[in-house]
Amino acid sequence: MTRLTLSHLLLPFLGGTTAGYTTLSDDTLRHISSPLSASSPSELDPFDGSLLSPILIPRVPGTPGHAAVQAHFINYIKSNLSPEWTIEWHNSTSKTPATGEKLVPFQNLIIRRDPPGMTREREGEMERLTLAAHYDSLYRPEGFIGAVDSAVPCAVLLWVLKELDGAMGKRWGEWEDDGLERGKGVQVVLFDGEEAWVQWSGEDSLYGSSSRLDTISLFVLLDLLGAADPTVPSFFGKTHWAYQNMAKVEERLRGLKLLESEPKAGRFLHDSERSNWNFAGYVEDDHVPFLRRGVEDILHIIPTPFPRVWHTMDDDVKNLDVATVKDWAKIVAGFVGEWMDLEGHFEGVVPGTEDEKGRYFVKDEL
């Protein structure tokens, strides 16, 4: 779907609460994204083979490529995340423009980690940062890959979970559940059927009940990421504070020379100064059904204008900018780390030193 809509959607500007949002220190930011680390960022290399590249195939619902990508997700999660993560499939069926009367199955994948002791009965005491992207690909033109739409966003989200998994475990190992603090969980929702223009029906079961929607503290939707020079506006006054926090993470990472891309605009998230929310345009996307169901805290990370390759055969591996892909991963990891209050919970963060070129060494890499 993902089409531009100019609307008069006037969400009440209530501002947001910054309670519990903890800035990460420079040393922690360096640790997340150490350019000298041989570890995870290479998984986002489209040719590396371990995370992103297996997604870079046609993934039309009901086809073998789609099933292969689903299997890859599960394999990646099981081999890289701790057992505290739960995996849920939410199944539905729908007719699509491609299949006429034939019903096609759709499977949304939810990967979730809640604080210890938070059972289904205690969901009301919890809030979940919800990170989303769609994993299916457009059925036409035939052979369409959808590298930015949305293979890269899916890979970025899985990478972020892996990157922060240890720190989350450490934080919750020390967490005192005194019943006063609302437990913060996190979940990644990988949507299916986005490109088939599926209508959300009353019966489908993405969350099963509205109480599960109530647990969403912020819905962050990534789309069309991975091409060079993205410019991402702030779309909603209500979540502008969250946008500003993510923009701040980008600015600090750039200041610390931890990002590799050199966007023409100097940065991806350029809209922190925005203050006028009248007649706001927004981009119709997977978040709209949530919006209609009362999830108002939405942060939509989508470049506008869309990348040149959008919905063409050129949306493939050769038009990805690897530096931009990696930088998105680092920015999102930093933002999620701050949202989840992970400062002080990363293993091995020790004050480092810079060499003569300004590169940064953490002690154990010397």
Stretch that binds Zn ion, among 2-10, 202-210, 227-235, 357-365 (CB under 5 A): 2-10
Q: Catalytic: which of 194, 204, 285, 338?
A: 194
257 with 354: CB under 8 angstroms? no
Query: Is residue 194 annotated as a catalytic residue, yes or no?
Result: yes
- Counting residues that bind Zn ion (by CB under 5 A) gives 2
Locus of tokens 């919905």: 311
Quote the least distance from Cβ 149 to Zn ion, whole Å: 4
Q: Longest Cα pair distance anywhere in the chain, in angstroms?
A: 66
Quote the least distance from Cβ 296 to Zn ion, whole Å: 24
Quote the least distance from Cβ 25 to Zn ion, whole Å: 38
- Tell me whether residue 124 or residue 305 sits nearer to Zn ion (CB atom): 305
Give the torsion through C-alpha atoms of 351, 355, 359, 364, to 10 deg: -50
- Please report whether residue 244 would count as binding Zn ion according to CB under 5 A: no
- Tell me whether residue 223 or residue 321 sits nearer to Zn ion (CB atom): 223
Binding-site string for Zn ion from residue 143 to residue 162, where x marks contact by CB under 5 A and - marks none: ------x-------------
- Tell me whether residue 114 or residue 136 sits nearer to Zn ion (CB atom): 136
Q: How far is CA 186 from CA 23, 112, 215, 220, in A?
A: 18, 6, 10, 11
Stretch that binds Zn ion, among 1-9, 54-62, 97-105, 293-301 (CB under 5 A): 1-9
- Tell me whether residue 171 or residue 311 sits nearer to Zn ion (CB atom): 311
**Residue with nearest beta carbon to Zn ion:** 149
Distance CA 267, CA 251 (A): 8
- Tell me whether residue 123 or residue 149 sits nearer to Zn ion (CB atom): 149
- Please report whether residue 315 would count as binding Zn ion according to CB under 5 A: no
Q: Catalytic: which of 163, 223, 285, 316?
A: 223
Quote the least distance from Cβ 281 to Zn ion, whole Å: 18
Non-local CB neighbours of 250 within 8 Å, separated by 6+ positions: 259, 267, 268, 269, 327, 331
Quote the least distance from Cβ 283 to Zn ion, whole Å: 11
Angle, helices 240-255 vs 322-339, to 10°: value is 120
Quote the least distance from Cβ 288 to Zn ion, whole Å: 14
- Please report whether residue 2 would count as binding Zn ion according to CB under 5 A: yes
- Tell me whether residue 2 or residue 96 sits nearer to Zn ion (CB atom): 2
Q: Which of the residues are catalytic?
A: 194, 223
Contact footprint for Zn ion (CB under 5 A): 2, 149
